Structure 1
Amino acid sequence: MKPFMTENFLLDTSQAKTLYAMGAGNMPIIDFHNHLSGKELYENRPYENLTQVWLGHDHYKWRLLRSCGVDEKYVTGDAGDKEKYDRWAETVSRAYGNPLYHWTHLELWRYFGIDEPLTVESKDRIWGRCCHMLKAMPPRTLVEGQNVKILCTTNDPAEDLKYHKLLSGWKVQVLPTFRPDRALNIQKEDFPNYIQNLMEAAGKASSEKKAPAIKDILDALECRLDDFVRLGCRLSDHSLEVGVFASCSHKEADAILSKRLKQGSVSVLEHVKYQTFMLLSLAGMFKKRKMTMQLHIGALRNISASGFLSLGADAGLDAVSDRAFASELAELLDAMEKGAGLPRTIIYPLNPGAWTMAAAMAPCFCRGKTMAAHVQMGAAWWFNDHEAGITRQLEEYACSASLENFVGMVTDSRSLLSFPRHEYFRRVLCRLLGRWMNTGKIPEDYKTSQKIVEAVCYKNAENMLKNEKQED
């Protein structure tokens, strides 16, 4: 019987152990997609206890607690921090097979040096030790201790990026990512107010309170995009939830916008048309600036209406859509390629049933590009960044392209304790390559395999953020 979570955790062949020991665990981390708070990092206030840093922002954990019948009082409610921690310890200690079981113990190990399982019996000991250590571990210390080199946060175009400016002297680069979803989600109730805020943030608000046209919104977005780029932004991010593509002319988009601002509603088709026109226009801006565009597709948001009313967004009330979107995605990428330009693009289908489709589609849009994997399928994320999901995603990628060109793992997290997920990914990658060696599927060539590991775990992300090779 193997002991739990040793230095050879997940590494089940001698080849995997050798490969991981050659440096996978020591490479710096580039987390190019997360939802961390620049304000929290800048203010750098120590946490009072483990609950605040561990459970305060983590809807992954909230979902598990609810699924095990824990009352909301102990999830996001008014229970004391120790009470919430106790419920978490009691819950996760029995969650065998859930990635949170592994992540929880990796986090205890890597941040606090605790290598005993979290159980009902050990929870008070662990609480005491972690709370004591946290007094000397403010947010930036937590990040630095995990060998993080670059963080790319997710930011709305109307944000002033004050804290990114203030963090510019920190040893860890904190770069904004341009996420204009609120400017594209024309069906949302707050859309008119948001557009006014965007125009003001870009210094383009009309003194006559005149309703903006498409060109005005695009000008405002481009103005803010340049502000982002000046602070090191190299990525955009988009969540496509209602649809992916519906052909739309400039005239149609203007008419849809006017209808929304004057009449208060548009149809689902009109939403997708407007979104498509805006995405195609933005893609040209990203291409011009040699940025990478990320498309997250397939989330069902806030599916419990009563839960959303009570808890709000990002509270663990989302799920996976099974809507087919292959033809729409192909049309979107094709329209970008034929139009203002197709920037380097990473496609993240949330439904693993779409992985083969996305992996197969990506190389169709790499013709004539000077950077490898100009369009590629992104990492397993959200409901899929577990042992089985990561393995399957790597296999799918390798079947349709060259694994060496994969840009690698992201945490997609709001938690400052999430960085050991990179280690988790690296162990799964080394295990996969080790198994291939062990079964004769690839040569026992550590030099080549090590180059693949280095590329996938660090160098490809580093090169993407430099983006020096993307063609004009």
Structure 2
Amino acid sequence: MKAVIEQKITSNDHQDVKPFLDDSFILENQTAKILYHEYAKAMPIIDYHCHISPKDIAENRRFNNITEIWLEGDHYKWRAMRTNGVDEAFCTGDKTPEEKFNKWAETVPYTLRNPLYHWTHLELKQPFGIDKVLSPSTASEIYKECNAKLAQEHFTVQGLIKKANVEIICTTDDPIDDLRYHQQIKSSDFDVKVLPAWRPDNVMAVEHPKQYNAYIQQLSEVSGIEINSYQSLLEALQKRHDFFHENGCCLSDHGLNYISASDYTKSEIEEIFSIIRKGNTLTPSQIELFKSAMLYDLAIMDHAKGWVQQFHLGALRNNSTRMMRELGPDTGFDSIGDFSQAESLSRFLNKLDDTNSLTKTIIYNLNPSDNEVFGTMIGNFQDGSVAGKLQYGSGWWFLDQKEGMEKQINALSNLGLLSRFIGMLTDSRSFLSYSRHEYFRRILCNLFGKDIEAGLLPNDIKHVGKIIQDICYNNAKSYFNF
């Protein structure tokens, strides 16, 4: 009898266990399946914020192996590998591509319940058509199969973008960028629109005088303006802003701990700029004043051109001084910060709104404890001029996983209008990350499907399906005037 009981306990053969990653993945009922497969799945992708290389698109890069496209630059995977006891040589070091891939394959079985497990297998399924689970026993087979696919003509960068049904991509570009690759793409026969996005974080980075002054010199050279005052800095930035606009840019982006919004005078900012141009270190209060002025003046430029401004708030970056020194930024040593957000964000938005200078704005939150703060903040400055003028952006970075997306969607649903939401983005450096749009769409459809079958929403599939299509595509298309 004991043996029989143990057999039943250890076997799932008789239980109704759903297969992993089938067509019903995440979709818990029939209504959710209908909403996804009949309404969401086929909608084109507008990836309005990412970090992929326009050079790779322009040159239609062909990757030599799956490690190049999958593991190079992917600090999510590096972070998991380190946690699993993998030596740095297999992450950012000089091990061979296959050795690095095998170490990732060894790590994947230990990522259960981490979003990396889902993302990994979604990316194998699309575009490679591989539905095997990655593990040490399947690593060699999957490595060879992926490499064989990558050697095919339609698995170049442009081919992968087309296979993912991408319509528009907005990259992330510094004001000093010459945008030559965007120009090259535009003049080619590649019919996916690839637009630059203005990311002036380096203009704000006054904490390090030596690096800052070197950057200002570069800005001076590309703008043709001698930058010897704060006013001339603004003139140089305006010239570059105009150049970006001429090249199709219609949105900006800022990666900040929090919004700086202290009161200042013009003379104070000129004096602070003079101090740093002399190579001297600023005090914390001077840094805060300068960033407050810079952020406001950049926002005024955006409003004048009708751009959308984005603010990614709340990351505590480069926590390991040693690894920052050895590897540099964006290598997997960042985390969620617990900065105070509400008061300064309100002051900043209100100052712009008070003179009718607040352009369309997206705010992204990295600390889930602030979800409702952000969800209510956007409602303070909606003015009826544009549907969803202020947006609470999709869960990003550490929150672009199932629970994080659901919490963001629920906060927005409870406190605003989910139906006017502009949906998902990849925020990725990888050309395989378009599966995050599928992930988001499945989560969205599942939430609506469960509410309908629970009697919390009317069983009006046509209307709800239209709302889902709006969130997946139509709202972004309209919001950015693409």
Residue 375 of structure 2 aligns to which amino acid in structure 1? Answer: A
Once residues 214 and 375 of structure 1 are traced to their aligned partners in structure 2, the CA distance between those partners, rounded to angstroms, is: 30
CA contact (8 A) 1:106 1:420 kept: yes
The CA deviation at 1:335 is 1.0
User: Shift in Å at residue 41 of structure 1?
Assistant: 1.3
Aligned-pair CA distance for 1:94: 2.5
The yes-or-no answer on 1:334 pairing with 2:355 is no
Gaps of 5+ in 1: 468-472
Which AA in structure 1 matches 2:174?
A: D
Q: Does the alignment pair 1:374 with 2:389?
A: yes
After TM superposition, give the deviation of residue 457 of structure 1 in Å.
0.7
Deviation for aligned residue 1:23? 2.6
Letter in 2 for 1:40: D
Matches within 5 A, 1:57-456: 57-136=73-152, 137-168=155-186, 169=188, 170-188=190-208, 189-204=210-225, 206=226, 212-241=228-257, 244-339=260-355, 341-367=357-383, 369-456=384-471
Any idea what SS the aligned residue of 1:413 has? coil
Alpha-carbon offset, residue 347 of structure 1: 0.6
Any idea what the Cα deviations from partners look like across 1:184-225, whole Å, max 9, x if unmatched?
111134111111111211121x3xxxx521111111111111
Q: Distance in 1 between matches of 2:264 and 2:475?
A: 35
- CA distance in 2 between counterparts of 1:355 and 1:307 reads 31
Deviation at 1:243, TM superposition (A): 5.2
- The one of 55, 59, 66 equivalent to 1:39 is 55
Quote how far apart the aligned CAs of 1:339 are: 4.0
Give the Å deviation of 1:427: 0.2
Answer whether contact 1:92 1:101 (CA < 8 A) is retained: yes
Answer whether contact 2:252 2:309 (CA < 8 A) is retained.
yes
Q: Distance in 2 between matches of 1:341 and 1:22?
A: 41
2:127 is paired with a residue whose SS is: helix
Q: Which moved more, 1:451-460 or 1:235-244?
A: 235-244
Shift of the alpha carbon at 1:164? 0.4
Give the number of the structure whose alpha-carbon radius of gyration is greater: 2
Structure 2 unmatched ranges of 5 or more: 1-16
Q: Deviations over 1:403-451 (max 9, x none)?
A: 1111111111001110000000000000000011111111111112111
For the 8 Å contact 2:260–2:295, the answer to whether it is kept is no
CA contact (8 A) 1:53 1:416 kept: yes
Instruction: Write the deviation string for residues 311-367 of structure 1: whole angstroms up to 9, x where unpaired.
Output: 111111111101112111100111111247111110111111111001101111012
Answer yes or no: is 1:24 the counterpart of 2:40. yes
Cα gap change, 1:220 to 1:92, in 2 (>3 Å): same
Length-normalised TM-score, structure 2:
0.94
Contact (CA 8 Å) 2:303, 2:357: kept in 1 or not?
yes
Q: CA deviation at 1:397?
A: 0.5
User: Are the equivalent residues in 2 in contact too, given 1:284–1:340 (CA < 8 A)?
Assistant: no
What do residues 370-392 of structure 1 show as CA deviations (whole Å, max 9, x unaligned)? 11111121000000000111111
- Of all paired residues, the percent bearing the same amino acid is 39
Conserved in 2, the CA contact under 8 Å of 1:242 and 1:268? no
Q: Which of 461, 465, 468 pairs up with 2:480? A: 465
1:281 Cα shift?
Answer: 1.2
Deviations 1:130-158 (A, max 9, x none): 00110121111111110000110000000
Post-superposition Cα deviations, 1:32-79, rounded to whole Å, max 9, x if no partner, equal 000011111112231111101100121111111111111001111011
Q: Structure 1 residues 273-282 or 27-36, which shifts more?
A: 273-282
